[in-house]
């Protein structure tokens, strides 16, 4: 089949690589010239394990990138543009609108548009379809529409895309659902076909539930600290209950990234718009906002005043194995440290360049060892594997390790972590 993918970020590029690997002809469309050039040269514009190998295999063969909406031949056009938060927490629709208008202008009878971006329930039917109809002068039905949410985890995007837990297809016309189902069938994953609005809500509910689990673990961690019990021991026992599962029960510096914070905010905004006060979701964000501040509180409690202390923050990406710094807890940690007059040194294996653009006025180390060597305190914000290999006991000036992710276990140097009662 001929597939067009609009937006080549974490989701769009991975989707393009999936369909190229499955043998389809893929056209990847992005407004970003730099990304388009890189993709065509087989250079991955994002850090995502396994992506560059696949890109090298398919770029210039059955995968081509362009800035032009050359969608005339496409059987299915996937919309994968960003849907970030607006200032008030609601979903920003400008990228979606722009993509839908450009697709609509060239849309032909029989083509299928599948929305893969995470969009607030109602968006595909009340926002995207009207734009497509207006721009194309066709009626929905003449062109097909589906909503196909994406559940991949950054850092594991390729794995998750090729081995999904489920494929959700929201459809209005059966033909669109059938075509999408046939595209995904080689993955042998369970396929759930449903209404478009349900598919949209499944995505928000999944992310909100995972965010609730993390903030719940952090709530329990904060109680555990006060009664001298280790939350990780507690959650080990709790997670053995198959109704709960051990996943997403890790207390720590909180969740970041391009999805959980913005999707919970968008769901809150939707709930309020339809007349419901979503108290649980509001508290999930409040707890999440507190946790990185608590990391700094722990540093202060165990080191003393942080003025002029040299503090290295290890892990600037929102989590390991990605260069994505969107909503990373490292920003809050660094800002709290700077407020207290600390000298901050940042290090991340892949996200340093992105983080530096956001916060240029701290020092950056060229390796984890060098970051630790000059520090009085180390704060671990993202649990990259390479941090586990460091021998923290071998750095004479290091006085304290504050572990925001339960990554390491030094023997001699003072070690504190969230949810242990340190």
Assess 80 for contact with ligand NAD (CB under 6 A).
yes
The residue among 8 and 407 lying less far from ligand NAD, judged by its C-beta, is 8
Per-residue three-class SS string for 247-285: CCCCCCCCCCCCCHHHHHHHHHHHHHHCCCCCHHHHHHH
Q: Among candidates 156, 71, 152, 73, which has minimal Cα distance to 106? A: 71
Question: Candidates 8-16, 211-219, 309-317, 376-384 — which segment interacts with ligand NAD by CB under 6 A?
Answer: 8-16
User: Is the separation of the CB atoms in 12 and 28 below 8 Å?
Assistant: yes
350 is an interface residue for ligand NAD by CB under 6 A? no
Q: How far is the CB of 232 from ligand NAD (least distance, A)?
A: 26
DSSP, collapsed to helix, strand or coil, labels residue 58 as: helix
Give the count of residues interacting with ligand NAD (CB under 6 A): 26
Task: Give the Å distances, CA to CA, from 422 to 47, 87, 399, 411.
Answer: 36, 37, 15, 15
CB of 86 to ligand NAD, least distance (A): 14
Nearest CB to ligand NAD, comparing residues 19 and 303: 19
> Counting contacts by CB under 6 A, is residue 152 touching ligand NAD?
yes
62: contact with ligand NAD by CB under 6 A: no
The reply to whether 320 sits near ligand NAD by the rule CB under 6 A is no
Task: Tell the smallest beta-carbon distance from residue 33 to ligand NAD (Å).
Answer: 10
Out of 25, 32, 92, 133, the only residue in the binding site for ligand NAD (CB under 6 A) is 32
Residue 261 in the binding site for ligand NAD (CB under 6 A) = no
Q: Give 152 or 375: the residue with its C-beta nearer to ligand NAD.
A: 152
Tokens 């390991």 belong to 320
**How far apart are alpha carbons 112 and 80 in whole angstroms?**
14
Per-residue x/- marks for ligand NAD, 10-29, CB under 6 A? xxx----------------x
Residue 357, C-beta contacts closer than 8 angstroms, at least 6 positions apart = none
Q: Which residue has the tokens 């165990």?
A: 302
**Sign, CA torsion 286/289/291/297:** negative
Quote the distance between the C-alpha of residue 62 and its chain's center: 27
Instruction: Give the pair of three-digit tokens for residue 239.
Output: 């997670």
80 is catalytic: no
- Measured in whole angstroms, how far is the alpha carbon of residue 1 from the centre of its chain? 29
Residues 81-100 that bind ligand NAD (CB under 6 A): 81-83, 95, 98-99
Does residue 195 belong to the site contacting ligand NAD (CB under 6 A)?
no
Contact status: 213 vs ligand NAD (CB under 6 A) = no
Q: Which is nearer to ligand NAD, 135 or 300 (CB)?
A: 135
* CA separation for the pair 96, 79 (Å, rounded): 8
Footprint of ligand NAD on residues 215-254 (CB under 6 A)?
none
Query: Which part of the chain contacts ligand NAD (CB under 6 A), choosing from 76-84, 269-277, 309-317, 376-384?
Result: 76-84
Instruction: CB nearer to ligand NAD: give 6 or 398.
Output: 6
CB of 67 to ligand NAD, least distance (A): 8
327 sits in the region (left: phi over 0; alpha: psi -120 to 50; else beta) called left
List beta partners, residue 48.
Answer: none
Query: Where along the sequence are the contacts to ligand NAD (CB under 6 A)?
Result: 6-12, 29-32, 35, 80-83, 95, 98-99, 117-118, 150, 152, 154, 258-259
Which residues are part of the catalytic machinery? 259
């Amino acid at each position: 089949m001929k597939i067009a993918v609009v937006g080549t970020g974490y989701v769009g590029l991975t989707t393009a690589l999936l369909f190229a690997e499955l043998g389809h002809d893929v056209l990847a469309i992005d407004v970003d010239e730099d990304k388009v050039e890189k993709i065509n040269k087989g250079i991955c514009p994002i850090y995502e394990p396994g992506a560059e190998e696949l890109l090298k295999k398919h770029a210039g063969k059955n995968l081509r990138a362009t800035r032009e909406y050359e969608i005339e031949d496409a059987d299915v056009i996937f919309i994968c543009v960003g849907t970030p938060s607006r200032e008030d927490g609601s979903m920003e629709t400008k990228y979606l609108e722009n993509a839908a208008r450009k697709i609509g202008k060239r849309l032909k009878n029989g083509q299928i548009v599948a929305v893969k971006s995470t969009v607030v329930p109602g968006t595909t039917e009340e926002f995207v379809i009207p734009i497509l109809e207006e721009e194309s002068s066709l009626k929905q039905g003449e062109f097909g529409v589906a909503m196909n949410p994406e559940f991949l985890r950054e850092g594991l995007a390729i794995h998750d895309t090729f081995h999904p837990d489920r494929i959700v297809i929201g459809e209005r016309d059966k033909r669109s659902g059938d075509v999408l189902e046939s595209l995904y069938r080689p993955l042998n994953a369970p396929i759930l076909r449903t209404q478009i609005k349900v598919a949209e809500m499944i995505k928000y509910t999944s992310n909100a539930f995972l965010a609730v689990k993390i903030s719940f673990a952090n709530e329990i961690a904060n109680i555990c600290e006060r009664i001298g019990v280790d939350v990780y021991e507690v959650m080990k026992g709790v997670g053995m209950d198959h109704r709960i599962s051990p996943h997403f029960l890790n207390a720590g510096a909180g969740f970041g990234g391009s999805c959980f914070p913005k999707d919970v905010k968008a769901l809150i905004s939707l709930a309020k718009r339809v007349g419901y006060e979503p108290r649980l979701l509001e508290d999930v964000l409040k707890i999440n906002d507190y946790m990185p501040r608590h990391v700094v509180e722990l540093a202060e409690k165990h080191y003393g005043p942080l003025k002029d202390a040299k503090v290295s923050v290890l892990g600037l990406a929102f989590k390991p194995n990605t260069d994505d710094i969107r909503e990373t807890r490292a920003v809050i940690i660094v800002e709290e440290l700077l407020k207290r007059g600390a000298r901050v040194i940042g290090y991340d294996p892949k996200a340093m360049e992105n983080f530096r653009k956001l916060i240029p006025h701290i020092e950056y180390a060229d390796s984890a060892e060098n970051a630790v060597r000059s520090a009085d305190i180390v704060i671990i914000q993202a649990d990259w594997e390479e941090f586990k290999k460091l021998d923290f006991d071998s750095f004479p000036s290091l006085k304290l390790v504050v572990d925001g992710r339960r990554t390491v276990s030094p023997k001699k140097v003072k070690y504190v972590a969230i949810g242990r009662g340190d």
